[in-house]
Structure 1
Amino acid sequence: MSSTATTPALETKSQLHLIRTHTRAQVLEQLRIPVAVLSSTIFPTLALVFFVLPQTAVTSNPLASLTAIAQLAVFGVMSAFLFNYGIGVAEERANPWSSYVRTLPAGAIPPTVARALTAMMFAFFALIPVLVVGALTTAGMDLYVDGTLSWWRLPFSVAVWLLCGLPFLCLGLMIGYLCTSKVAIAVTQVVFFPLAFAGGMMLPPEIFSSGLDLFSRFLPSRAARDLSVSALSGEPFELGAVACFLAWTAVLGAGAVWANRRDQGRRFR
Structure 2
Amino acid sequence: MALTLVHTRYQLLRTIRIPIALVGSAFFPAASMIFFVVPAAGDDPTGAVYATASMVVFASIISNLFGHGIGVAEDRAQPWDPYTRTLPVGLFPNFAGRIITGLMMMLLSMLPVVVIAAVFTEASVTVWEFLAGLVVLIVASLPFMLMGLAIGYLLSTKAALAVVQIIFFPLAFAGGLLSAPDAAPGFVKAIAPYVPSRGAVELMWAAVGDFEVNPTAVVSLVVWTAAVGAVAVYAYRRDEGRRYR
Q: Which residue of 1 aligns with 2:175?
A: 199
Provide the C-alpha distance between the structure 1 equivalents of 2:20 and 2:84, rounded to a whole number of angstroms: 26
Provide the C-alpha distance between the structure 1 equivalents of 2:105 and 2:14, rounded to a whole number of angstroms: 12
Paired letter, 1:85: H
1:1-269 maps to which residues of 2 (within 5 A)?
16-41=1-26, 43-55=28-40, 58-141=41-124, 144=125, 150-204=126-180, 206-269=182-245
What are structure 2's unaligned runs of at least 5 residues?
Answer: none
Provide the C-alpha distance between the structure 1 equivalents of 2:5 and 2:105, rounded to a whole number of angstroms: 16
Provide the C-alpha distance between the structure 2 equivalents of 1:178 and 1:29, rounded to a whole number of angstroms: 22
Provide the C-alpha distance between the structure 1 equivalents of 2:171 and 2:23, rounded to a whole number of angstroms: 24
Paired letter, 1:161: L
* Cα shift readout 1:219-263 (whole Å, capped 9, x = no counterpart): 001111111121112322232222111111111111100111011
For the 8 Å contact 2:195–2:217, the answer to whether it is kept is no
Residues 208, 42 of structure 1: CA spacing in aligned structure 2 closer, same or farther, 3 A cutoff?
closer
What are structure 1's unaligned runs of at least 5 residues?
Answer: 1-15, 145-149
For the 8 Å contact 1:86–1:174, the answer to whether it is kept is yes
For the 8 Å contact 1:27–1:118, the answer to whether it is kept is yes
Paired letter, 2:129: R
For the 8 Å contact 1:227–1:241, the answer to whether it is kept is no
The count of corresponding residues between Structure 1 and Structure 2 is: 245
Q: CA deviation at 1:155?
A: 1.6
Paired letter, 2:146: C
Provide the C-alpha distance between the structure 1 equivalents of 2:74 and 2:114, rounded to a whole number of angstroms: 32
Secondary structure at the counterpart of residue 188 of structure 1: helix
TM-score normalized by structure 2? 0.94
% same residue = 40
Q: Mark the structure with the bigger radius of gyration.
A: 1
For the 8 Å contact 2:193–2:214, the answer to whether it is kept is no
For the 8 Å contact 1:205–1:213, the answer to whether it is kept is no
* Cα shift readout 1:155-198 (whole Å, capped 9, x = no counterpart): 21122122211101111111111111111111111111111111
Provide the C-alpha distance between the structure 2 equivalents of 1:43 and 1:113, rounded to a whole number of angstroms: 27
* Cα shift readout 1:38-71 (whole Å, capped 9, x = no counterpart): 333454333211221122xx11111111110000
Secondary structure at the counterpart of residue 206 of structure 1: coil
Give RMSD over aligned pairs. 1.6
For the 8 Å contact 1:19–1:113, the answer to whether it is kept is yes
